[in-house]
Amino acid sequence: MKINGFKINGFGKLKDKQIDLKDGINIIYGENESGKSSILKFISAMFYGASKNKNGKDISDFDRYKPWVSEEFSGKIDYTLDNGENFEVYREFKKKNPVIYNQQKEDISKTFTIDKTKGIDFFLEQTGIDEETFYSTMVTEQEGIKLSKSSQNSIIQKISNLVSTGDDNISYKKSLDKINKSQNEEVGTERTSQRPINLIQNKINKLMEQKEELELYKDSIYDNSAQREDLKQEQKEEENKKEFLKELKIKMEETRIKNAEINFSKNLENDYNQKIEELNRKISNDKLVENDEKISLKNYYIAITICIIAFIVLMIVNPLKIANSIALIPIIFIIYKISKDKKKSISDITNREESTYKIINEIDVLKQSKEEQKSVADEKEEKLKQELEEQRKELISKYMNYVNIGYIQEFLGKNYDDILKEIDLKENRINAIRFKLQTMENASRDINTKLDNLSEIEEKLQDAEAEKDELLSLNNSYNIAKECLERAYNQVKENISPKFTRNLCDIISKISNNRYSNVILNDNEGLNVELQNGSYVPASRLSVGTIDQMYLSLRLSALEEISTEVMPIILDEAFAYFDDERLRSMLKYIRTNFEDNQIIIFTCSNREVKALENLKIEYNLINLEK
């Protein structure tokens, strides 16, 4: 694949920038802050888009490279695949998807797979290279190969990783250790005690114990329920009896009122009789007095007669004597007194006769009222008897389906006080049943709470068992991952490692002028280099510059493995820490071993140009300062 050129409409501080590239080596020259890094990022953004995610950075690429002085945030890139197909990609970075044109300038965007998150992943389809691989292989930045004594062991490890696994960031041993560590931390083993698999198993055991204990309450809830139903039935029966008794009590109270009215009427009849008797006695007494007065009046007449006779006799015997005149005085007084008493007696007799007449009339009225009252009382009594019989039938009819008929008939014959006592007994029994039901209800609630806990425990147990299954599944995944890793490692050792080892040997031989010709990598001792005398020394004994060159060369040689396309090599200030001799050696090595690859070198110095001219290697210079 070759990048023919690109046009930057607006990207970061770059605006209206057209850059054309050629086959072979291209030098993009510019002072610091001239936009070299922006151009490199523009190339990858054209292929993969400018992400709005920070991905651990302070600011996302999208926000970082928004145009400084232009609203136009877009560009176009032109490239040709190894099969000769030419493509142009136009992208507005504010939109998710670019527009892809073929050689005839037809829009073929819809022919590529569209990822919901990333959009059209056309470059991955064409080359098999994702953005991460793009930066880890095709692009080598200054910080990517910068090497100091303190980081020497790290770069040697990267070389070992590259030779043994095909990726400088992957170490089989470290990967296996990480898997084992993760497996131990996330799952655990039978020998661990505080790992997830142990904790969940302990939880399952504890929940099983609680479940077995609570299941004993299941029978209790059934027994409790049956007893409560019996008590509720008894309570209902007792309440029905109580209702019957209360209604009977009300009927009796109504009857008592009516009886009181009847008794009142009967008492009035007695009162009438007493009054009549009293009036009759008064008449009798008045007759006796009248008789006495008549006798007294008769006696008065006799006495007057005697006085008159006596006076006449005296007058006859001694008519001239004064004594006769004196004797006349008492006679006159007696006659006067008798006359006066007679008048009074006659008046009293007349008054008593009138009174007696009135009393007789009153007696007649009382007798008539007594008869009327008796009739009313008899009528009320007869009516009450009929009502009592109807009430009896009504109560039997109303309660015969709810209260035992024998009980009804029994208490229909009881008196009022017996009814009151029975009502009290029923209320006491009902209260006792309610208390017992409440007690059983509380016990049932407690049991139900425990059974609810049982349901909760069963759910927790299911969750715990599911969690255990997930852990076992995860553990199985870890075991599969380790098996796959081991198989992959063995395949790499059989197929890729020999190739990388040969490359590494060839590289170290060339860059060391045949001082070192053989490199050995083993799992125990790491990377060793064979000296000219046949002895082996650790790679860490080599000079920093040699290790630096070896790593860059080996990393570049990995390009053959990542894609079917011959991909461009992009070097951003990659030789800043090389001396002139190593720079010439590395440029010569790149030109010789990667003559089919397009090389793009970003630099802020003229060292690369001088080295290429010294080596008589052609190059294409793009000066950003012009």
pLDDT in tens, 321-354: 555 556 566 666 666 666 666 666 666 667 766 7
pLDDT in tens, 76-131: 999 999 999 999 999 999 998 999 999 999 999 999 988 777 788 899 899 888 88
pLDDT in tens, 246-277: 888 888 888 888 777 777 776 766 776 777 77
Residue ending a domain, among 361, 388, 412, is 412
Least confident among 225-239, 442-456, 467-481, 611-625: 442-456
Q: Residue 366: inside a domain, yes or no?
A: yes
Q: Answer whether residue 7 shows pLDDT above 90.
A: yes
Average pLDDT over residues 398-403: 86
Same domain, 273 and 395: yes
Residue ending a domain, among 412, 431, 457, is 412
Which CATH number is 20's domain given? 3.40.50.300
Average pLDDT over residues 356-369: 73
Q: Residue 86: inside a domain, yes or no?
A: yes
Please report the pLDDT score of residue 154 as a whole number: 45
Please report the pLDDT score of residue 151 as a whole number: 41
Average pLDDT over residues 433-447: 80
- Enumerate the β-bridge partners of residue 92: 74
Least confident among 86-95, 441-450, 487-496: 487-496
Same domain, 283 and 396: yes
Q: Residue 297: inside a domain, yes or no?
A: yes
CA 348 vs. chain centroid, Å, equals 110
Least confident among 64-78, 386-400, 442-456: 442-456
Average pLDDT over residues 388-416: 86
Please report the pLDDT score of residue 324 as a whole number: 53
The DSSP secondary-structure symbol of 33 reads T
Q: Give the structural domain span for 74.
A: 1-129+568-626
Q: Answer whether residue 398 shows pLDDT above 60.
A: yes
Please report the pLDDT score of residue 152 as a whole number: 42
Residue ending a domain, among 384, 412, 440, is 412
More confident residue, 510 or 27: 27
Q: Residue 119: inside a domain, yes or no?
A: yes
Please report the pLDDT score of residue 189 as a whole number: 81
Q: How far is CA 190 from CA 17, 187, 205, in A?
A: 65, 10, 15
Please report the pLDDT score of residue 598 as a whole number: 94
Please report the pLDDT score of residue 454 as a whole number: 72
**Distance linking the first and last C-alpha atoms of the chain:** 28
Q: Residue 87: inside a domain, yes or no?
A: yes
Which CATH number is 376's domain given? 1.10.287.620
CA distance 504 to 168: 13
CA distance 207 to 29: 71
Q: Answer whether residue 44 shows pLDDT above 90.
A: yes
pLDDT in tens, 501-526: 777 677 777 766 777 778 776 666 56
Long-range interactions of 227-233: CB distance < 8 A, separation 24+: 227/440, 228/437, 228/440, 228/441, 228/444, 231/433, 231/436, 231/437, 231/440, 232/437
Please report the pLDDT score of residue 148 as a whole number: 41
CA distance 344 to 363: 28
Same domain, 397 and 283: yes
Average pLDDT, the chain: 79
Please report the pLDDT score of residue 170 as a whole number: 57
| Phi and psi torsions of 46, nearest 5° | -65, -35
pTM of the full structure: 0.50
- 405-414 burial code (b ≥16 CB/10 A, e <16): eebbeebbee
Please report the pLDDT score of residue 314 as a whole number: 67
Q: Answer whether residue 614 shows pLDDT above 60.
A: yes
pLDDT in tens, 119-168: 888 998 998 888 877 877 778 765 444 444 444 444 445 555 555 555 55
Please report the pLDDT score of residue 43 as a whole number: 95
CA distance 208 to 457: 8
Average pLDDT over residues 605-609: 93
Q: Residue 99: inside a domain, yes or no?
A: yes
Average pLDDT over residues 459-485: 84
More confident residue, 381 or 2: 2
More confident residue, 268 or 595: 595
Please report the pLDDT score of residue 414 as a whole number: 86
CA 101 vs. chain centroid, Å, equals 54
Q: Residue 468: inside a domain, yes or no?
A: no
Task: Count the domains in the chain.
Answer: 2
Least confident among 59-63, 137-141, 567-571: 137-141
Average pLDDT over residues 546-571: 74
Q: Answer whether residue 174 shows pLDDT above 90.
A: no
Same domain, 123 and 5: yes
Residues 551 and 147 sit within 8 Å (Cβ to Cβ): yes
Same domain, 233 and 121: no
Q: Residue 463: inside a domain, yes or no?
A: no
Q: How far is CA 340 from CA 271, 289, 343, 352, 609, in A?
A: 41, 18, 5, 18, 186
More confident residue, 132 or 60: 60
Same domain, 254 and 391: yes
